[in-house]
Amino acid sequence: MDLQTYISSGILESYVLGLTSPEENQEIEALADEHEIIRQEIASIRGALEVYASQFTQTPPHSLKDKVMNRLDALEAEEDDSKASLASPFLSIEKTEKEDKEAFISEDVIAYAENIQKQNRYSYWTAAASILLGFSILGNIYLFSQWKQTETQLAQVTTERTELAQHNQELEQKMKPAMMTASVVSNPDYKVVNLQTTDPKMNAEVILYWHPEKGNLYIAANKLPPLPKGKKYQLWAIVGDKKLDAGMFAPTQEKGLFTMKSIPLQAQAFAITLEDEQGSPEPTTTPYVVGKV
């Protein structure tokens, strides 16, 4: 049995207040004999109820004492008058008056005692209900605060994880070109072809990386003249007397490799020309740069 769940069910409070059935009383008392935590909880509940109930203890009002004493004095005065005017044959009357006096006093005292008993009983149950209600409210407040704190922490962790994932994704995208460049440049299976300018006045620097077996082709256009509007550079693979289209590219300020078309054939050289941006099936201008494999 889960003792904490059993304690939190409220059955021990009902037991202390006398609201449980005989079967439940027997079960609780058996558990109390077996488990120290049950005995401590019962003692704690009783102590709390007794402390609270003691705050409602009432003493007889001073006015009642005065009322009783005044009534006694009046009865004694009446008794003295009766003794002066009546002879001994009327002792029965004196006895009756004494009984009336005692009956009157008893009625007042009994009525007051019953009233105090009712008030104490009401105060006891009120105190018990107030304590139970207080425990319930405090427990609910604590659970609510814990839930809100956990909810806030969970939202914060979720936000941090989302931001971290976005940051990693952005970093991966930024690093992807550099990683590809490093992979290609460091691979000995790639042939490196330096393309030289055909015009000494032109400042151009282009390096080509070609995998003859797989046909993979990359180009690093480090230096090329700016492109006129509507134009792009086109790469050509020279195989015998044929010039095969190897793709188009437009250099940007960011340095990196351009992925070109696959050239699995045995090319003897590569060249770059300036063409319309939609491309051309054959070169239409003089090559800017040329490089032999």
Q: Give residue-wise pLDDT tens across range 4-28.
A: 888 888 888 888 878 888 999 999 9
Q: Which amino acid is at 270?
A: F
pTM reported for the whole predicted model = 0.44
CA angle 120, 122, 124 (to 5 degrees): 65
211-252 tens-digit pLDDT: 999 999 999 887 888 899 999 999 999 998 899 999 999 987
Give the tens place of pLDDT for each residue, 198-212: 888 888 889 999 999
Which part of the chain has CATH 2.60.40? 191-292
- Banded pLDDT at 166 (limits 50, 70, 90): confident
CATH topology of domain 191-292: Immunoglobulin-like (2.60.40)
Question: Model confidence at 93, in pLDDT bands (50, 70, 90)?
Answer: very low
Can you tell me the mean pLDDT for 128-144? 68
Query: Which one-letter amino acid corresponds to residue 184?
Result: V
Highest mean pLDDT among 24-28, 54-58, 117-121: 24-28
Q: What is the pLDDT of residues 29-53, one digit of tens each?
A: 999 999 999 999 899 888 877 776 6
CA distances from 209 to 67, 84, 120, 215 (A): 120, 146, 100, 10
